[in-house]
């Protein structure tokens, strides 16, 4: 199992995440940490006990390209993408793996909690023009799904924490690197679904997300968000491709 984490000058946050991973003591865990922009790495010296591989980019790359780069470095059954601002206080990897008993499950996401305990809208329906206007322009964030007590198949899961079956991730070509930031998670989940793979919410376990909502704070991030939204609406595939399809078994 591989955890992929990308730092954009966020090693202070990532240090907390690494402490959580050390405490959970997962077997056969490799952590790939991508330093996307130069920063002080001195805090990493205390994590020599972890299987930590560091990639240092010579120039900044986008969300999907960074995680694809990490995926290419390893051979693993499960590939986990994690945001720097995630905490794993009450997290169970055993529960996260449970849905993968079905061979059609390509991605699993946990319930995501805000620091104050509220549930975030981390699983969503595919964006439409109306939904995007509410979220990006009108700043209205309404949950697309009521969080249940049992497994739920969803359209897509936000990329703050997702476990991918590596075979599924590779079959659809990973993230589309034409998205620099935002919407690449919706796009990859759509391509998974078009090729017979399910994206599942596992509400029995949770992570905490101290959300760094740059889109609300930066005009540059807002432009990226809008550009990605336009790309998704106009160019994200809507027909099944020739990628490898799993056997048809329902969760």
User: Model confidence over 35-79: pLDDT tens digits?
Assistant: 999 999 999 999 999 999 999 999 999 999 999 999 999 999 999
pLDDT tens for 123-142 read: 998 877 777 677 666 666 67
pTM of the model: 0.86
Residue 247: its pLDDT value, please? Answer: 47
Taking residues 204-222, report their average pLDDT.
73
Band (218; pLDDT cuts 50, 70, 90): low
Residue 243: its pLDDT value, please? Answer: 47
Residue 215: its pLDDT value, please? Answer: 45
* 3-state DSSP assignment of residue 70: helix
Taking residues 177-190, report their average pLDDT.
85
Q: Reply yes or no on whether the pLDDT at 239 is more than 70.
A: no
Given the candidates 3.30.420.40, 3.40.50.2300, 3.40.1160.10, 3.90.550.10, the CATH classification of the domain at 2-235 is 3.90.550.10
Write down the residue that tokens 């499950």 correspond to. 105
Domain ranges of the chain: 2-235
Distance (Å, rounded) from C-alpha 47 to C-alpha 55? 16
Distance (Å, rounded) from C-alpha 71 to C-alpha 158? 18
Residue 211: its pLDDT value, please? Answer: 72
Distance (Å, rounded) from C-alpha 167 to C-alpha 244? 9
Q: Reply yes or no on whether the pLDDT at 249 is more than 50.
A: no
């Amino acid at each position: 199992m591989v955890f992929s984490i990308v730092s954009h000058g966020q090693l202070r946050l990532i240090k907390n995440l690494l402490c959580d991973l050390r405490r959970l003591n997962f077997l056969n865990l490799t952590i790939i940490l991508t330093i996307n922009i130069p920063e002080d790495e001195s805090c990493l010296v205390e994590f020599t006990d972890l299987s930590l591989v560091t990639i240092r980019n010579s120039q900044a790359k986008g969300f999907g390209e960074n995680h694809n780069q990490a995926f290419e470095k390893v051979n693993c059954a499960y590939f986990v993408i994690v945001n720097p601002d995630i905490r794993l206080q009450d997290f169970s990897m055993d529960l996260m793996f449970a849905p993968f008993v079905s061979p059609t499950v390509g991605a699993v996401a946990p319930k995501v909690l805000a620091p104050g305990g509220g549930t975030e809208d981390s699983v969503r329906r595919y964006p439409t023009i109306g939904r995007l206007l509410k979220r990006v322009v009108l700043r209205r964030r309404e949950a697309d799904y009521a969080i249940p007590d049992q497994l739920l198949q969803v359209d897509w899961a936000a990329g703050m924490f997702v476990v991918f079956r590596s075979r599924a991730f590779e079959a659809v070509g990973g993230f589309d690197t034409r998205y620099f930031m935002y919407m690449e998670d919706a796009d990859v989940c759509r391509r998974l679904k078009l090729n017979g793979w399910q994206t599942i919410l596992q509400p029995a376990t949770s992570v905490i997300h101290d959300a760094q909502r740059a889109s609300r704070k930066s005009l540059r991030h807002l432009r990226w968000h809008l550009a990605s939204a336009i790309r998704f609406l106009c160019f994200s595939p809507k027909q099944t491709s020739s990628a490898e399809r799993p056997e048809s078994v329902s969760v």
